[in-house]
């Protein structure tokens, strides 16, 4: 008897899915119990339980025979195809291993990291240690070979928005973002297979590899983009702490020292990525208050924002 909560999800998760995917998202939510049942039958899954914190994907943990696994379901099969390809490219370079997948179901089975503590648990008392761990993880991940002409992976040029006026609180940051986009994308010295969503929650403790990375988006471009994503996370907690500017500055300094990148370029990518994230949130009908607060913090940082 398969034991799971058939497609149980919160109103917040449902809102995110329907805001992002519209009618297709609503239909996918309704079909979740059927998809889960088909996955359970196909891969002999047992003891499935949903993760309590869901964002853009429906994720469950359980068993496949005697192996602890993660079942990940995505509304968009194209996104799943790209994620599988990225994980397969990262195999042996510090990422979770894909055990099985079915694009028709929008489903894949991943090895489950145990004990599975996320790097987010280090915030904020051990943020320096966490940033050092993250630097080690991304250094290894960025060594993974990939087919540079892969049609699955978009480039950063294709990914970063064009930044048109939004008639919102984001508008004061648009012009500088446009300038940085032109500057950064025309001065790339190295292109790697980027994770694309490299933050503390996607770095998990694993008994056999210490730390592994999950949930890559698969983008080709400047390696510093991944560092920029990390620097602004976990966003809510970062904004709430007593001295976020010191944490942001220390992260930039640590990445610059350990990975050999220019601090100014790390800052610039952090600004551009933060505006990009806010812009995408607007497109999805989501609130950007936190994003704007983070951008205002960046503009207070001495020594980096001379060009703005």
pLDDT of residue 93: 96
Together in a domain, 285 and 179: yes
User: Which pLDDT tens digit goes with each residue over 61-82?
Assistant: 999 999 999 999 999 998 999 9
Residues 6+ apart with CB under 8 A from 163: 174, 177, 178, 181, 275, 279
pLDDT of residue 147: 75
**For 186-190, 211-215, 283-287, which range has the lowest pLDDT when averaged over its residues?**
283-287
Q: To the nearest whole percent, how much of the chain has pLDDT over 70? A: 96
Together in a domain, 207 and 261: yes
- The per-type count for the chain, helices as H runs and strands as E runs, is 11, 11
CATH code of the domain in which 141 resides: 3.90.1200.10
Among candidates 106, 102, 223, 86, which has minimal Cα distance to 153?
A: 86
User: What confidence tier does 7 reach under pLDDT thresholds 50, 70, 90?
Assistant: low
The residue among 67, 93, 111 that closes a domain is 111
pLDDT of residue 295: 98
pLDDT of residue 117: 94
Span 163-182, mean pLDDT? 96
Span 25-43, mean pLDDT? 96
In this structure, are residues 245 and 286 in contact, taking their beta carbons and an 8 Å threshold? no
Together in a domain, 64 and 170: no
Q: Encode 235-275 in three state secondary structure.
A: HHHHHHCCCHHHHHHHHHHHHHHHHCCCHHHHHHHHHHHHH
Span 177-182, mean pLDDT? 97
Domain membership of residue 145 as a residue range: 116-298
Q: Give the Cα separation of 214 and 218 in Å (integer).
A: 11
Q: Give the Cα separation of 218 and 206 in Å (integer).
A: 22
User: Which pLDDT tens digit goes with each residue over 235-281?
Assistant: 999 999 999 999 999 999 999 999 999 999 999 999 999 999 999 99
CATH code of the domain in which 36 resides: 3.30.200.20
Please give the tally of structural domains in the chain: 2
The average confidence (pLDDT) of the chain is 93
Span 24-34, mean pLDDT? 95
Q: Give the Cα separation of 178 and 250 in Å (integer).
A: 26
User: What confidence tier does 160 reach under pLDDT thresholds 50, 70, 90?
Assistant: very high
User: What confidence tier does 2 reach under pLDDT thresholds 50, 70, 90?
Assistant: very low
Together in a domain, 149 and 213: yes
In a domain, 69, yes or no: yes
């Amino acid at each position: 008897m398969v034991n799971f909560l058939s497609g149980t999800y919160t109103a917040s998760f449902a809102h995110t899915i329907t805001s992002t995917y519209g009618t297709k998202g609503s239909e996918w939510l309704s079909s979740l119990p059927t998809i889960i049942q088909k996955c359970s039958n196909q891969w002999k899954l047992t003891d499935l339980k949903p993760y309590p914190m869901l964002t853009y994907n429906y994720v469950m943990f359980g068993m496949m025979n005697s192996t602890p696994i993660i079942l990940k379901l995505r509304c968009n099969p194209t996104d799943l195809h790209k994620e599988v390809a990225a994980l397969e490219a990262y195999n042996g370079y510090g990422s979770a291993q894909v055990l099985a997948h079915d694009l028709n179901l929008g489903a894949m089975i991943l090895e489950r990291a145990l004990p599975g503590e996320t790097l987010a648990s280090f915030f904020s008392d051990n943020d320096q240690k966490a940033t050092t761990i993250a630097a080690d993880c991304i250094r290894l991940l960025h060594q993974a070979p990939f087919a540079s002409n892969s049609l699955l992976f978009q480039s950063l040029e294709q990914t970063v928005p064009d930044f048109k006026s939004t008639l919102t609180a984001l508008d004061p940051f648009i012009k500088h973002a446009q300038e940085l986009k032109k500057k950064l994308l025309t001065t790339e010295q190295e292109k790697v297979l980027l994770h694309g969503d490299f933050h503390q929650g996607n770095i998990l403790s694993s008994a056999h590899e210490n730390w592994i990375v999950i949930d890559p988006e698969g983008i080709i471009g400047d390696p510093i983009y991944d560092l920029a994503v990390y620097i602004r996370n976990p966003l809510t907690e970062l904004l709430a702490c007593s001295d976020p500017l010191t944490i942001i500055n220390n992260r930039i300094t640590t990445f610059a020292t350990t990975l050999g990148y220019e601090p100014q370029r790390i800052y610039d990518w952090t600004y551009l990525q933060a505006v990009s994230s806010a812009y995408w949130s607007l497109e999805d009908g989501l609130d950007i208050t936190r994003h704007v607060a983070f951008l205002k913090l960046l503009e207070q940082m001495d020594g980096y924002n001379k060009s703005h």
